Structure 1
Amino acid sequence: MHQVVECVPNFSEGRDQKVIDAIATAIRDTVGCTLLDVDPGASTNRTVYTFVGDPEAVVKGALNGAKAAHRLIDMAVHKGEHPRLGAMDVCPFIPVRDITVAECVSCAKQLGHLLASELDVPVYLYGAASSRDYRKTVAQIRAGEYEALATRIKTAEWEPDFGPSNFVPQWGATMVGVRQFLIAYNVNLIATKEQAHRIALNIRERGRGKSEPGRLPAVQGMGWWLEEANMAQVSLNLTDHDVTPIHLAYEEVCKDAAALSLPVVGSEIVGLVPLRALLQVAEFYIKRDGLLVLEEGQKVRLAISKLGLSSLKPFVPKERVIEYRLGSTSSGSLVRLPTESFVRAVGARTPAPGGGSVAALLAALGAALGTMVGQMTYGKRQFEPLDATIRQLLPIVHDAMNNLLPLVDADAATFKQYMDALKLPKRTAEEEAVRDQALQEGLLKATQVPYSVVKEVNYLWPTLVQLARVCNMGTASDLQVGARCLETSVWGAYYNVAINLQGLRDTARKEELETEMKEAVRVAQEGLQMVLSALAQRKNE
């Protein structure tokens, strides 16, 4: 799996389409870069570009975009609603896949050096790339904006990290840094710019200053006027959507807007958004409103609707959700194989995929059949009195299905780690010790996946018993097959753990796992019989 870095440079041009396109072309034509999104704003006079690639490619892509901007943008005449410091205003690198923050810091420093050496422009490092606390954030560095730069840049405190310590009027300065995924999120108001800004001051983390902080951590914000839409926006940067998720920011804006008797008319996400951030939104409204929404696509649609993300222009998930734009990250994934290909892969003269992957798949299929039974009972008029019960049961089996599917690949991956350990050299005593340690770790890891299968399956039995007592009896055979699959998957997991324990020298852990797995089989056998008995009883009634 190759490394993926995301780069999101913001250029100070959002009105001249020729300039916007020229920068996009420069990035798009860089070998190894995939341009995912171009989001211009006329009022802000700023365009956000989002592209991905390996570390070397994204540095080149950012440099090529900067070269185009250097030819075409003149900051001396630039005006816009958004704060800005330079033609390429900010350029963050964001770790996406198989890459560390430290490696992204290296990308930022490479770009800073290249911008200075090839374009002779000042560059400041920020975020994880900065080593100076007083100039760690964009807000600190951009204080006073472009207009104050001519004076600030000449002071020792604000000497650039790269490039000349003199004012370059046509360019200004660029901030290059490293951050986690930032969500640029704007809430639309029929209000004045001043009213929107008042709400932003209430909400953003730093509020109105140290004596009057705002309510939401990990949030930056301001209010501005969006001329092209004839309305105001509370413009927010959510720097950590696990700390302050999108829905919380939206609801807080709505609360303050209601207090001022101002209508909220939707919102927008600028650039791309992680799938998990939209699912957080969906889960909030599902819980708050007592909804039953299971499928990922439906949850995304719910989030779009609740936030009004299509109020200014259509929010198309396949274009705006980063995971959908990147496509599958599961190259070589077993669960993504066609059924025939998977079966033939199991039947091939190779040790993996083997019994562990098959056990995990059986468990996922068993949970899927339970999900199907719930779906075939819920929402039908003749079973309407059962809707409240099914609403409680269905998410449990559906979540188990989703949790079990990745274990099909995980089992094969842990087996590969063990096989790789077997191939380690053993020519010296030191090499043999390293190899032996790797083998012991590999054996222990190989028990973890089937152990996870067992835990997930055995958690389901009470739910399946309840489902058996109320489900549409036209699906009884499906639930019987599902229950049998689940019990068999526990036996499969038991056998896989047992064979790996044979070589494990950690006696205490070995005995503990043996005891737990024997108990797991007993629980599965008992659970199966309870499901079958409940169905049989209903058939005889």
Structure 2
Amino acid sequence: MKSIVECVPNFSEGRNTKTIEAIADAIRQTKGCRLLDVDPGKSTNRTVYTFVGSPEAVIEGALNSAGVARQKIDMRTHQGEHHRMGAMDVCPFIPVANVTMEECVKISKEFGRRAANELGIPIYLYEESATRKYRKNLPQIREGQYEGIKDRIITKEWKPDFGPAEFIPGWGATVTGARFFLIAYNVNLLSTPNQAHRIALNLREAGRSPDEPGSLAEVKGMGWYVDEYNLAQVTVNLNNYQVTPPHMLFEEVQKEAKKLNVAVTGSEIVGVIPLEAILMAADYYINKENLFVLDEDQKVRLAIERLGLNSVAPFNPKEKIIEYIIAEEKAEPLAGLTVREFIEEVASRSSAPGGGSASAAIAAMGAGLGSMVAKLTLGVRKFEDLDAKMRRIVPPLNHAANALIPMIDADTDAFNDYVAALRLPGNTKEEKELKVEKLQQGLKKAIDIPLTTMKLADAAWDAMIEIAKYGNIASKSDVEVGAKAMETGIWGAYKNVMINMADITDENFKNTTIKLAEEIKIRAENQCEKVLKILENREK
């Protein structure tokens, strides 16, 4: 997977569509950047942009957007409900994939240095990039807002980290840094702004004062009224959704609103949200309501419904959940084939796909048959007493079936990597050493993939035995075939592990892997036999 960084610059303009679009175009036209979301607010007079790209690309995208704002936004005439101190008010960088927080700190500093030099603007560092403790948090730096910068920026304590220590009337100042994924989240209320703010004060971490802290950690917020929606909102930043996720904030707002006899009418995500946060909400409501929801798309739908995320604007998961937005098209040339095409591909005059891919497909079918029988038993009136058991049995079988499908292509990819290493030159000493290293890496990958196939299938045996005991006896042969297919898939994957082991020079890796593979193979033989005996002895 490529290195992906998210950048979420906030600009102090939410009403001039030409300016908003010009900034968006600057990001779109930056090579390597992908603009995910543009969220303007008229009342706040502020627009939040969300884009992703490589570490190098996001710096360029942020600089290009700031360059447009330098030309088109004049802070001397700006008014809006949101706190602000600059034309580009804040520009955070967030690690998404294959990037560390430390790397994002370096990215933010490089952006700050270049923005100061190229645009002549003052830049402050915050959050993980902060250089001074007393100005780590955004509210600390933004105290007094744009109007207060003039007197603060010339003091020693508030000298910018980059750029001129002087007031730039048309710009103000910008804050940049690296931070954890922040979720901008609003809960809708049919109330006055005062009531919304009262609720926000009760919940936000800072509360009303140091002596009256709020009840939720890692939450910053306030209450306001949004004219275009004709309702009030508790508007918050969830600084760490793993500490306080959206559903927890939503539930607490409902409790506070009930005390005030105020109606809650859904909520909205400003910008984008990680999939994990949505699934956390789904799991919360599944447990709370004792629901049985298995598939990811259904969990996403449940979270959307329970949080009322469609209440003020459509919530399209493909446009709002960051993993769905940045996901490339599934690279499954084999698993994506029809059954006929896959068999024909296996039967063709080519060494790949071979036994490893076939083993993964066979094991997936085995687990899939077990999952099918469990689902056909679940919810049937005459098997109503088994519902609790089926709810436990379905997930591991369903998970194994789905997790084994990608292994079909992974096995062939691993073989291709090894073949590529064989083609490397080996004329010089350095070339020979590199080739040996790459060959060993290729062999280990060619072993690890079928070993993973074995592990995934192995994890489904307990559930397969349970379905043999309690599943609908009318599907007896399906469970028998499923068990035999899982055993065969594991045996085939084992053979692929062993055939690639001969040339491995790492003795510790070899001994550990062989021991584990043999244990899984033997367990598969024993568990399959157990399933078949259970079914043979069942009458109904």
1-structure distance, mates of 2:243, 2:152: 34
**Contact 2:332–2:406 (CA under 8 A) maintained in structure 1:** no
State the 1:433 CA deviation: 6.8
* Closer, same or farther: CA 530–89 of 1 in aligned 2, 3 Å: same
**Contact 2:332–2:409 (CA under 8 A) maintained in structure 1:** no
**Contact 1:196–1:234 (CA under 8 A) maintained in structure 2:** yes
* Closer, same or farther: CA 167–346 of 1 in aligned 2, 3 Å: farther
Q: In structure 1, what residue type is equivalent to 2:164?
A: P
* Closer, same or farther: CA 138–371 of 1 in aligned 2, 3 Å: same
2-structure distance, mates of 1:208, 1:352: 66
State the 1:460 CA deviation: 1.9
**Contact 1:366–1:483 (CA under 8 A) maintained in structure 2:** yes
Q: Secondary structure at the match of 2:265?
A: strand
Q: Which residue of 2 aligns with 1:184?
A: 184
Q: Which residue of 1 aligns with 2:155?
A: 155
Q: Secondary structure at the match of 2:157?
A: helix
CA offset digits 1:465-494 (Å, max 9, x no partner)? 222333334443333332222111211232
Q: Which residue of 1 aligns with 2:132?
A: 132
**Contact 2:7–2:93 (CA under 8 A) maintained in structure 1:** yes
1-structure distance, mates of 2:459, 2:73: 60
Q: Which residue of 2 aligns with 1:59?
A: 59
Q: In structure 1, what residue type is equivalent to 2:184?
A: A
Do structure 1's residue 235 and structure 2's residue 235 form an aligned pair? yes
State the 1:349 CA deviation: 6.3
State the 1:282 CA deviation: 0.8
Taking the TM superposition and a 5 Å limit, the aligned residue runs for 1:12-31 are 12-31=12-31
2-structure distance, mates of 1:169, 1:261: 45
Q: Secondary structure at the match of 1:84?
A: coil
Q: In structure 2, what residue type is equivalent to 1:220?
A: K
Farther off after superposition, 32-41 or 402-411: 402-411
State the 1:114 CA deviation: 3.8
1-structure distance, mates of 2:83, 2:484: 62
Q: CA RMSD in A?
A: 3.1
Do structure 1's residue 476 and structure 2's residue 476 form an aligned pair? yes
Residues paired across the two proteins, number: 540
State the 1:262 CA deviation: 3.0
Do structure 1's residue 323 and structure 2's residue 323 form an aligned pair? yes
**Contact 1:494–1:521 (CA under 8 A) maintained in structure 2:** yes
State the 1:337 CA deviation: 5.2
Farther off after superposition, 314-323 or 53-62: 53-62
Q: Secondary structure at the match of 1:234?
A: strand
Q: TM-score, normalised by structure 1?
A: 0.89
Farther off after superposition, 233-242 or 85-94: 233-242
CA offset digits 1:265-305 (Å, max 9, x no partner)? 21110011122221111111112211111121111110001
Q: In structure 2, what residue type is equivalent to 1:321?
A: I
Q: In structure 2, what residue type is equivalent to 1:186?
A: N
**Contact 1:81–1:225 (CA under 8 A) maintained in structure 2:** no
Q: Secondary structure at the match of 1:228?
A: coil
**Contact 2:108–2:176 (CA under 8 A) maintained in structure 1:** yes
Farther off after superposition, 480-489 or 124-133: 124-133
Q: Which residue of 2 aligns with 1:143?
A: 143
Q: Which residue of 2 aligns with 1:251?
A: 251
Taking the TM superposition and a 5 Å limit, the aligned residue runs for 1:36-75 are 36-75=36-75
Q: In structure 2, what residue type is equivalent to 1:248?
A: M
2-structure distance, mates of 1:320, 1:228: 21
2-structure distance, mates of 1:455, 1:248: 35
Q: In structure 2, what residue type is equivalent to 1:282?
A: A
Farther off after superposition, 186-195 or 405-414: 405-414
Q: Secondary structure at the match of 2:236?
A: strand
* Closer, same or farther: CA 479–412 of 1 in aligned 2, 3 Å: same
State the 1:320 CA deviation: 1.3
State the 1:357 CA deviation: 3.4
Do structure 1's residue 394 and structure 2's residue 394 form an aligned pair? yes
Taking the TM superposition and a 5 Å limit, the aligned residue runs for 1:126-525 are 126-328=126-328, 330-331=330-331, 334-336=334-336, 339=339, 342-343=342-343, 346=346, 352-412=352-412, 415=415, 443=443, 446-504=446-504, 507=507, 510-525=510-525
Q: In structure 1, what residue type is equivalent to 2:365?
A: L
CA offset digits 1:88-144 (Å, max 9, x no partner)? 111122233344444444443343244333432222222333333333332222122
State the 1:63 CA deviation: 2.6
* Closer, same or farther: CA 343–8 of 1 in aligned 2, 3 Å: farther
Farther off after superposition, 184-193 or 409-418: 409-418
**Contact 2:180–2:240 (CA under 8 A) maintained in structure 1:** yes
State the 1:414 CA deviation: 5.1
* Closer, same or farther: CA 446–127 of 1 in aligned 2, 3 Å: farther
CA offset digits 1:367-419 (Å, max 9, x no partner)? 22222222233334454443333222112211222333344454455556656
**Contact 2:12–2:84 (CA under 8 A) maintained in structure 1:** yes
Q: Which consecutive residues of structure 1, in runs of 5 or more, have no partner in the other structure? A: none
**Contact 1:86–1:146 (CA under 8 A) maintained in structure 2:** yes
2-structure distance, mates of 1:463, 1:470: 10
Q: Which residue of 2 aligns with 1:32?
A: 32
2-structure distance, mates of 1:24, 1:421: 43
Farther off after superposition, 235-244 or 285-294: 235-244
**Contact 1:247–1:281 (CA under 8 A) maintained in structure 2:** yes
CA offset digits 1:334-388 (Å, max 9, x no partner)? 5445556655665566655443333233222222222222223333445444333
